[in-house]
């Protein structure tokens, strides 16, 4: 039995954690996971066998509070960090009854999980391509309060028993135990099967748009008009006016790796799980640059070197 503490900052950490759990289940099918996070239970239900995990709703991390999917709210982040760190003895004691049945605690990239592992006397495994102390130190232009938490969390990240970094790595660690290539969930269905379920013709060119926010009808209509042979696949786009070449499956019904493998192009934020799943699908994509997020430069360089893609400035998109 294993525990997994997963950052709820976006869905990328949860997607990578699911890929890790998938791989472990393939080798040890009877493994059971206790999942601690605020990422919705439905996300894990879409990726893992129902009996493979027990879900525990827990504020397992803060990361960065987002004002929009592309902008961080540093003030709200500081307030949220103040409520969670340093971890209280009460919080750690409340976790102990479940954790005592686990043989190790995996963390992506929750410092609380590392603290809970040590409090329960179990090994802590850290899986990351960046840690929050590295992120917070980049926000030093007049907003020093985040540096306090960088200094607080850095020692926790050093207290792991097994440290795994996943490419593209933002800050290579000199004592890392293992560095691995892109970690991504695998598709479950063949391309033709997914397309048939979506009502997409087998030979059509498909652009998958995955930005994490509702799209306005006008730019979607402009794309459909400008490219008469292109089909658009927009999860969660049910609010958009219907069109024969527009496919809008409910977001909660979508398994993203299947959509990736059913598409020809991708328009998305440059986030880790999107990059990893696009890489496994061999999918070139246009991405929205997030210059204020420290990870972005490393991800964008990896995209250009290994995947092929173009950057769309945030101002141009808006």
| Cβ-based neighbours of 164, under 8 Å, separated by 6 or more | 125, 126, 127, 128, 176, 177, 178, 179, 180
Instruction: Indicate if the pLDDT at residue 141 is higher than 80.
Output: no
Instruction: Indicate if the pLDDT at residue 158 is higher than 80.
Output: yes
Whole-number Å distance between alpha carbons of 129 and 19: 15
Structure token digits, residue 94: 């409340």
pTM of the model: 0.93
Q: Which residues pair with 35 in a beta bridge?
A: 4, 55
Q: Which CATH architecture has domain 2-180?
A: 3-Layer(aba) Sandwich (3.40)
Q: What is the pLDDT of residue 62?
A: 96
The model's pLDDT over 36-85, given as tens digits with 9 standing for 90+, comes to 999 999 999 999 999 999 999 999 999 999 888 778 898 999 999 999 99
Average pLDDT over residues 130-139: 94
Tell me if domain 2-180 and domain 191-317 are identical in fold.
Answer: yes
Domain ranges of the chain: 2-180, 191-317
CATH classification (class only), 191-317? alpha beta
């Amino acid at each position: 039995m294993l525990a997994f503490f997963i950052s709820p900052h976006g869905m990328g950490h949860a997607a990578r954690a699911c890929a890790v759990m998938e791989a472990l289940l393939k080798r040890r099918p009877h493994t059971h996971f206790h999942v601690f996070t605020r990422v919705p239970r439905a996300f894990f239900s879409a990726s893992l066998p129902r009996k493979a995990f027990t879900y525990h709703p827990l504020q397992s991390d803060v990361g960065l509070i987002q004002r929009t999917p592309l902008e961080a709210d540093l003030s709200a982040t500081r307030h949220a960090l103040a409520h969670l760190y340093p971890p209280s003895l009460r919080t750690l004691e409340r976790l102990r009854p479940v954790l005592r049945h686990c043989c190790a605690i995996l963390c992506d990239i929750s410092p609380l999980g590392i603290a809970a592992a040590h409090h329960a006397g179990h090994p802590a495994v850290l899986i990351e391509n960046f840690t929050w102390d590295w992120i917070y130190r980049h926000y030093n232009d007049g907003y020093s309060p985040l540096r306090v938490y960088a200094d607080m969390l850095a020692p926790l990240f050093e207290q792991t028993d097994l440290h795994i970094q996943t490419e593209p790595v933002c800050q290579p660690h000199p004592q890392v135990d293992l560095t691995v290539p892109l970690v991504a969930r695998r598709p479950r269905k063949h391309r033709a099967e997914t397309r048939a379920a979506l009502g997409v013709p087998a030979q059509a060119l498909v652009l998958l748009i995955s930005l994490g926010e509702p799209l306005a009808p006008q730019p979607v209509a402009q794309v459909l008009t400008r490219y008469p042979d292109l089909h658009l696949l927009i999860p969660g786009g049910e609010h958009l006016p219907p069109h024969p070449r527009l496919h809008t499956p409910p977001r909660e019904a979508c398994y993203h790796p299947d959509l990736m493998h059913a598409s020809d192009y991708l328009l998305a934020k440059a986030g880790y799980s999107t990059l990893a799943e696009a890489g496994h699908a061999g999918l070139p994509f246009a991405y929205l640059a997030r210059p204020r997020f420290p990870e972005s430069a490393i991800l964008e360089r990896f995209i250009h070197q290994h995947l092929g893609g173009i950057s769309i400035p945030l101002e141009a998109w808006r």
